[in-house]
Each structure stands twice: as structure tokens, then as C-alpha cells.
Amino acid sequence: MRLTEFTDKETLPFDPVEDVVFFMRNNPQFYRKEVYPCGCEAKAAKKNGTFESPQSYFGNCVEKGMDAYKNKYDMHDVFKTDDKQKIIDLLFNEEMY
């Protein structure tokens, strides 16, 4: 056993933000149904000059991704309050550039 198993139960051996982004990008059905259309819509809006904010394009997608991740891996209390915005920012930067 490791010492951290006794002292720090809240620390995970991975970053849940990066893990959910990896899950969303590498789950073919989720990516095709949710992430890709949001990215295409955001790119088109940026090209047309009607772009609003990353939240407006990726917000619902990230909510669904976080829910799917929590249900699949049974990790319901893993995300902090600011994690959603971090996930939106990561997806936005990957999809737009």
C-alpha cells in the first residue's frame, strides 16, 4: 500500500478534466453526435462573423459529455465547479485551431 492511500483520499491519480476531454474525443459515437457538430457550428459562426462565445457552442455538449462520463465510470462527485469551463476551453481550442 502507498502512504497516500491513508492520507489523501480526495486526490485522483489522473486529471478528470483531461480524462473527460479524452473520453469525449475518443468515443466515436459521442464525438460524431455531439462534439463535431458543435465545432462545425462554431467554425461557421466565426467565419461569418456571428461567433458569440465558446460556452454558447460547447456548453450543452460538455454537459452531456460530463454526464456520460460520470455514468459510464460511476464517478459522480469527481468534477469541481470550474471544471466545466476548463473542459469547454480545451475542446474549443482543439476544435477551432
Mean of pLDDT values over 26-51: 95
Closest CA to 53 of 34, 62, 22, 28: 62
Q: Exposed, middle or buried by CB within 10 Å (0-12, 13-18, 19+), for 70?
A: middle
> Could you give the percent of the chain with pLDDT greater than 90?
76
76 to 67, 69, 96: CA distances (angstroms): 8, 9, 29
pLDDT in tens, 56-70: 999 999 999 999 999
pTM of the model: 0.83
